[in-house]
Amino acid sequence: MELTFFFYKLVKSALVPPGLFASIALFLSILAFRKPRKPFLGSCLLVFATILWILATPLGERLILAPLEESFKPSLPEAGNPVVMVLGGGSRYGEGQEDVEPGPYSLQRVMGAFSLAKTHEWPILLTGTRPTGSDYISGARAMAKTLREMGFKGTILLEEESRTTWENFEKSAELIDIYGFDAVIVVTNAFHMKRSIWCAGQNLQNVGIFPWPVGRFADKRPLDALDFLPDSLHGTILGLREHVGLAAYRFLHGN
């Protein structure tokens, strides 16, 4: 890698958020160590700057996200009466009640479910509600509309009341029982799979649970110098939210 190019990326990373915030904290920590010295404040700012810098790098994203995304490998039932269950991942809303489309995460999940269900001729169960107090169609119905536009001809079931990952399974359990499904193939983003499988195990009894992760974030390529420069906190925040969410569910719903 050319030194000039790396220096350009370094300056850019240091002057644009979130790297800018780490740079400001570092600058303030240097000032705190000057007379009159405030060593405790300076140390706190230095630690904050270092942690923020690392978490905003692709390296930090790997450290947080990779363990989550590697938790479960794709698996499928060999026989029985399975259903492909897609967990809602957010929607984008327009002006009209019908003007709703799956958000980026939901769309990744819909595409994964479409390929899987079409190949094996399995039904699809879609989950997700609408914004509180609105007249928009549900996230589940928006995903169903997208599936039909993609050409899916199979059976689609809707669960339109769930607001959280826990409720996705809690409120789908009755539908799964009514239709006699003996296996549930959980389709969600790889970073979200660990929490999802735990929730499935708590809510779906006497049903086989099979993970089908889609939409990986963490790279597997060898690290290079640019992976140590801050770029975004998006992936890291996703991972931290999953760890906190799983801990909260275990506290609230664990046996």
Instruction: Report the pLDDT value the prediction gives residue 79, as an integer from 0 to 100.
Output: 86
Backbone angles phi, psi at 205, to 5 degrees: -95, 145
Instruction: Report the pLDDT value the prediction gives residue 1, as an integer from 0 to 100.
Output: 63
d(CA 42, CA 28): 7
d(CA 59, CA 61): 5
In degrees, rounded to 5, the angle at the alpha carbon of residue 220 between the alpha carbons of residues 218 and 226 is 80
Task: Quote the strand ranges of the chain, DSSP E.
Answer: 82-86, 91-93, 100-102, 124-127, 156-159, 183-189, 208-214
d(CA 28, CA 46): 8
Amino acid of residue 141: R
Residue among 204, 211, 182 at smallest CA distance from 112: 211
Strand partners, 159: 127
Instruction: Report the pLDDT value the prediction gives residue 255, as an integer from 0 to 100.
Output: 64
The H or E element that residue 44 is part of is helix 39-55
Q: Please, what is the end-to-end C-alpha distance for the chain in angstroms?
A: 53
| Separation of CA 10 from chain center | 28
Q: What is the pTM of this model?
A: 0.90
Instruction: Report the pLDDT value the prediction gives residue 43, as an integer from 0 to 100.
Output: 95
- Each residue's pLDDT, cut to its tens digit, for the chain (255 residues) gives 688 898 899 999 999 999 999 999 999 999 999 878 899 999 999 999 999 999 999 999 999 999 999 999 999 999 899 999 999 999 999 988 888 999 999 999 999 999 999 999 999 999 999 887 788 999 999 999 999 999 999 999 999 999 999 999 999 999 999 999 999 999 999 999 999 999 999 999 889 999 999 998 888 899 999 999 999 999 999 999 999 999 999 998 876
- Homologous superfamily (CATH) of 73-215 is HUPs (3.40.50.620)
Domain ranges of the chain: 1-56, 73-215
Instruction: Report the pLDDT value the prediction gives residue 131, as an integer from 0 to 100.
Output: 82
**Ordered alpha helix ranges (H), 161-207:** 165-170, 173-178, 193-203
Report the b/e string of 178-201 with b at 16+ CB within 10 A: eeebebbbbbbbbbbbbbbbbbbe
d(CA 90, CA 95): 17
Strand partners, 211: 186
